[in-house]
Structure 1
Amino acid sequence: MKPQQVLLLGIILLVPVLAFLFLKSFGTNRYALPTYLPDHVDSTQVGGKWQRDTVFHQVGDFRFASQSGRAVTGAELRKNGLYVASFFFSTCPGACPRMNSQLVRVQEKFRQDPRVRLASFTVDPATDSVQALARYAESYGAIAGKWFFLTGDKTALDRLATEEFRLPAPAGEGPALVHSQIVFLVDCNGQVRGRYEGTSERDVNRLITEIDVLLYTYEHP
């Protein structure tokens, strides 16, 4: 066999080996979502050595009335899936409509996936009654059982925003002082896995991508 033929044969045999090594090295999904809201650091002994592990906050359970009048809990929202949390009030003139218009995109992208839910908490329950939220939800085409607009006791709602999601505490009275445009991605364990600027199309695109990533990790632990 001529040297040129030997070289060609070697190249032909080498190509699938290189392809296999490439796919093995780079074909694995290594995109991992961070976890937000650290609580404290624990030290554990493994193999005679101390290791420090960060313990992350889990959003405590809650119970609020939805636009249908049915009570919804945090455990229900995250059961077998995840939820996207946001804070708003229906009389907000600018940021809330922009944020909710972006959340419509999230709802439509995952319309057929029951593991993905949206929870929008009012910060002005005095105005946002169940009846008012029913009209408000309808204006955004909220799907029953998919996108929940939630109201209830103002103290409980404020505590959820400031203590559980750790938004800045209001400096005075009025819903605008506790309102935020930040949107949160909460996993099945109640941990916050993403924070996004809710009025930004680019950030909401990232939210959609990271929901897909989180669902993938559920299917491929």
Structure 2
Amino acid sequence: MRPRQTLVLGLILLVPVLAFLFLKSFGTNRYALPTYLPDHVDSTQVEGTWQRDTVFHQIGDFRLPAQSGREVSQAELADKGLYVASFFETSSADYQRLNTQLMRVQEKFRREPRVRMASFSINPTQDSVAALSRYAEQYGAIAGKWFFLTGDKTSLNKLATQEFRLTPAADASSQLPHSQRVFLVDKDYRVRGIYDGTSEKEINRLMTEIEVLLYTYDHE
């Protein structure tokens, strides 16, 4: 056999081997979700070398009344895996677009008990339990899956600005902060994703990253 033919034959035989090694290497990679809201940086000494580690914020616990009339805590929301959080204001132009997009999330994970949703109303003076119930009915919220929550002004303001770090309203004395942002919170109460809740593309990314987070839970 001529040297050239030998070289060609060798390359032909080598291609499947290289393809297999590539696919095997690709298949072992994992897409890791980032963590948001850093608190501070700790320095620790390991074998004589100082290492810096970022410590990320954990959402503080809360307990607020939901559309059913009973109080719901963060521990319940994240108990099985994760929850999706948002803050809405009914007079905002983005209110309907936000909750319409969240309906897609609920439908996608309708049969996944590890995924729950929490929508916080920032109108505590007008959004009674009856009003929350109407919102839940309007958007087809499944009982035990999607919670519409409210509370007193002080608690909601602390939750929005100190825990989820939304920008305080210009006139904090009369208005609570609201945003079109949607947050993905893991079982350790850390924010693993922040999205534009009015964008179909962003909500698609949210749903993909929920699946990624659930996958990491299954393969810990």
Under a length normalisation based on structure 2, what TM-score does the superposition of the two structures give?
0.92
Contact 2:80/2:115, CA 8 A, preserved across alignment = no
Name the aligned partner's letter for residue 44 of structure 1: T
- Is 1:63 the counterpart of 2:101? The answer is no
Write out aligned runs for 1:171-190 (5 A): 171-172=170-171, 173-175=173-175, 177-190=176-189
Count of residues in correspondence between the two structures? 219
User: Could you tell me how far apart the structure 1 residues matched to 2:183 and 2:138 are?
Assistant: 22
Question: Per-residue deviation at 1:202?
Answer: 1.3
CA distance in 1, matches of 2:4, 2:219: 46
Deviations 1:7-37 (A, max 9, x none): 5653454233212210132223332211111
- How far the C-alpha of 1:186 sits from its partner, in A, is 0.4
Amino acid at match of 1:181: Q
Amino acid across the alignment from 1:58: Q
Q: Distance in 1 between matches of 2:150 and 2:42?
A: 36
Written as runs of structure 1 = structure 2, the 5 A alignment for 1:159-198 is 159-172=158-171, 173-175=173-175, 177-198=176-197
Superposed, which structure 2 residues align to 1:136-151 within 5 Å? 136-151=135-150
- Stretches of structure 2 that go unaligned for 5 or more consecutive residues are none
Instruction: Compute the displacement of 1:139 (Å).
Output: 0.4
Residue in 2 that maps onto 1:27: 27
**Which contiguous aligned blocks of 4+ residues in structure 1 show a shift greater than 6 angstroms?**
none
Query: CA RMSD, aligned part only?
Result: 1.7
SS in 2 for 1:120: strand
Q: Quick one: distance in 2 between partners of 1:64 and 1:42?
A: 33
Per-residue Cα deviation, 1:193-214 (whole angstroms, up to 9, x for no partner): 1111111111111111111111
SS at match of 2:25: helix
Structure 1 residues 59-91: Cα deviation after superposition (integer angstroms, max 9, x where no partner): 0100011101121111111113111100013x3
1:93 shift after superposition: 4.6
5 Å matches for 1:55-94? 55-89=55-89, 91-94=90-93
Work out the CA distance in 1 between the residues paired with 2:143 and 2:174.
29
Who is 2:208 aligned against?
209
Q: Give me the whole-angstrom Cα distance separating, in 2, the residues matched to 1:60 and 1:72.
A: 14
Letter matched to residue 215 of structure 1: L
Tell me how far apart the structure 2 counterparts of residues 220 and 169 of structure 1 sit (CA, whole Å). 39
**Larger mean Cα displacement after TM superposition, 14-23 or 146-155:** 14-23
Structure 1 93/50 Cα, relative in aligned 2: closer, same or farther at 3 Å? closer
Alpha-carbon distance between aligned partners in 1 of 2:135 and 2:148, rounded to the nearest angstrom:
9
Structure 2 residue matching 1:183: 3-state secondary structure: strand
How far off is 1:100 after superposition? Answer: 0.3
Once the 2 structures are TM-superposed, how far is the Cα of residue 3 of structure 1 from its aligned partner? Answer: 5.8
5-14 or 73-82, which deviates more: 5-14
| Equivalences for residues 9-158 of structure 1 within 5 A | 10-11=10-11, 13-89=13-89, 91-158=90-157
Write the distance in 1 (CA, Å) between the matches of 2:16 and 2:40. 49
